[in-house]
Amino acid sequence: MEANQPQWLDNAIFYEIYPQSFNDTNADGIGDFQGIIEKLDYIRELGCNALWINPCFKSPFGDAGYDVADFYSVAPRYGTNEDLKRLFAEAHQRHMHVLLDLVPGHTSVEHPWFKESMKAERNDYTDRYVWTDSVWEEPQGMGCIRGISQRDGSCAINFFSNQPALNYGFLNPTLPWQQPMDAPGPRATLEELKNIMRFWLSMGCDGFRVDMAGSLVKHDPDSRGTIRLWQEIRAFLDEEFPAAAMVSEWGEPDKSLQGGFHMDFLLHFGPSHYNDLFRCAEPFFSQRGKGDVSAFVQKYLENYEKSQRKGLICIPSGNHDMDRLSRSIQGDSLKIAFAFLLSMPGAPFIYYGDEIGMRYIENIPSVEGGYNRTGSRSPMQWDSTVNAGFSAAPKEKLYIRQDESADRPTAAAQMADENSLYHEIRRLIAVRQAHTALQSKGKIEFVYAEKDAYPLAYLRSSDDERILVVINPADREVSFGCTHVPKENLYRFGEEIACKDGIMTVPAQTVGWFRV
Ligand code: NOJ
Ligand code: CA
């Protein structure tokens, strides 16, 4: 099933906000909605026109809010539902769109549904979660919660052991406790999911980033059941909210797009080779020039073909689950990495703070189920005032420790420096937004992406224009044969890239975007 794409996605550039770490306006040491509202102009000025906000619903925060305790109320620490509604309106006034994070697969153990579901006597929530019949029987292939309920049985989990799995059924049930997708329990769960989506979309949210979208139906090896489930959601959205955008955390664009999603992420897990680019011992985007981009390109092209060459695959700069980009590459290499991220098909996603090269904080204790991810979730560094302008609370009250180094980057300092990463990203975004060939739906064709070699070159095209992107992160000059003759240099980083007799000579650490 193919989804009609909301037009604003064609040139959407997302900024991911981890709300607890963005901007604290009431000095309690944790970010809030008002803090986001006050920074909308900052985000807009950078060039981003869309937001993805990590889960902001009531939660005991055992997994940063991915353990929801009430899908219909925001966490009081961020504000009220009215404040979030105001955030939607303020964003819309600035021609920005907002995706909330929808967590359809599980809840917190503290969700009232789960408390009801644990009771021995049957009730409306008995079948809301995936339970076996006996506490001694574990759900095959899944972790479980056992021994805390009055009810006999063990309950499947999706991620941490405080995240019981909601019941959308099994594709092919083989045991008595496994319910088919069309049984009343799974049907009721799905109807409730629609209600949740209705609730926020009616309030002004523009769509959802969907957590673990590919894992709802159980024992579903080819995802046929899960795809069918999302197709039903697609039909509901087409009917009631045709403008809503849906972006999946799935990692298999062919499946996700069949399910009616508009875009899917390429991520650090699975066989994407995303890590070859920025996050491995020898990343392609390091100036050491010892990386290899070819496996990534091959995988990308497979996905691109499977998704009908529509360019609906999003490659994020990072996210709340990965190491900060600047943990493995720094300086000009970061600028060059963004010249890639901002010239690929699909919507770019910039993780808050990546635009100023915020660092991964080493060796900090886990906060809110972050574990090693905590180092990528530290509070935003705005300026040189107390707590880098994040919060007026005493330093010890900040819910995650900040980067304490004297030379920590700040937004204010980078905005004042034309040579900063911030300004480079702004320039890149401005050029992307001026050329449809560079945007989400522009086609891509790789011109040079050889094994263990530099540079990387690709052609982006739309009906009216063809743009050649040449990127050399390595600290040495390289060359390649190229039949496309540059007509105009639309963007340049570093020394000039020369083209003579079909040979392009690309100096160390340079980028060129050329109209051809
Ligand atoms: C993926 C989210 O990005 C991650 O932060 C979370 O812990 C898991 N899903 C579980 O919901
Ligand atoms: Ca606050």
Which CATH number do you get for residue 364? 3.20.20.80
- Residue 272 located in a structural domain: yes
- Claim to verify: residue 346 and residue 292 sit in the same structural domain: yes
| Percentage of the chain exceeding pLDDT 70 | 99
| Alpha helix ranges (H) inside 398-444 | 411-415, 421-433
In ligand 1, which atom is closest to the CA atom of 66? 11
Q: Is residue 360 part of a domain?
A: yes
Mean pLDDT, range 209-236, rounded to an integer: 98
Q: Is residue 13 part of a domain?
A: yes
| 173 part of a folded domain | no
Question: Based on the domain organization, do 483 and 427 belong to the same domain?
Answer: no
Among candidate residues 407, 432, 457, the one where a domain is terminated: 432
- Co-location of 448 and 477 in the same domain: yes
How many domains is the chain partitioned into structurally? 3
The closest-lying atom of ligand 1 relative to the alpha carbon of residue 67 is: 11
Residues 492 and 390 in one domain: no
Q: Within this chain, do residues 58 and 196 fall inside the same structural domain, yes or no?
A: yes
N- to C-terminal Cα separation, the chain:
36
Mean pLDDT of 123-142: 97
pLDDT value for 350: 98
State the closest ligand 1 atom to the C-alpha of 106, by its place in the atom list counted from 1.
Answer: 11
Q: Does ligand 1 lie within 6 Å of residue 377's CB atom?
A: no
Burial class (CB in 10 A: 0-12, 13-18, 19+), 148: exposed
Triad 385, 390, 393: Cα angle to 5°: 85
In a domain, 437, yes or no: no
| Closest protein CA for atom 5 of ligand 1 | 321
Q: Are residues 100 and 115 in the same domain?
A: no
In a domain, 363, yes or no: yes
Statement to judge: residues 334 and 480 lie in one domain: no
Does 120 lie in the same domain as 268?
no
Q: Which helix (H) or strand (E) holds 445?
A: strand 443-448
Q: Please spell the DSSP secondary structure of 479-502, one letter per residue.
A: EEE--PPP-EEEEEESSPPEEETT
Tell me if 370 sits within 8 A of 336, measured CB to CB.
no
What local confidence, expressed as pLDDT, does residue 353 receive?
98
Per-residue confidence band for 2, with pLDDT thresholds at 50, 70 and 90: low
The CB of 111 under 6 Å from ligand 1? The reply is no
Quote the percentage of the chain above a pLDDT of 90. 96
Q: For ligand 1, pick from 61, 66, 208 the residue to mutate: most ligand atoms within 8 Å of CB.
A: 66
Q: Look up tokens 């300004």; give the residue.
A: 423
User: CA-CA distance, 250 to 455, in Å (whole number)?
Assistant: 30
- Kindly identify the ligand whose nearest atom is closest to the C-alpha of 78: 2
Give the closest ligand to the alpha carbon of residue 369: 1
Whether residues 13 and 87 share a domain: the answer is: yes
CB 361 within 8 A of CB 447: no
Structural domain containing residue 507: 444-515
Average pLDDT along the chain: 97
Q: Give the DSSP H or E segment for 512.
A: strand 510-515
Ligand 1 touching residue 63 (CB < 6 A): yes
Task: Please report which ligand is nearest the Cα atom of 33.
Answer: 2
Whats the size of the chain, residue-wise? Answer: 516
Query: In 3-state terms, what secondary structure has residue 5?
Result: coil
pLDDT tens digit sequence for 150-194: 999 999 999 999 999 999 999 999 999 999 999 999 999 999 999
Ligand 2 midpoint to CA 503 (Å): 56
The CATH number covering residue 154 comes to: 3.90.400.10
Q: How many helices (H) does the chain have, and how many strands (E)?
A: 12, 20
Decide: 159 in ligand 1 pocket, CB within 6 A. yes
Same domain, 219 and 145: no
Cα distance between residue 109 and residue 114, in whole Å? 6
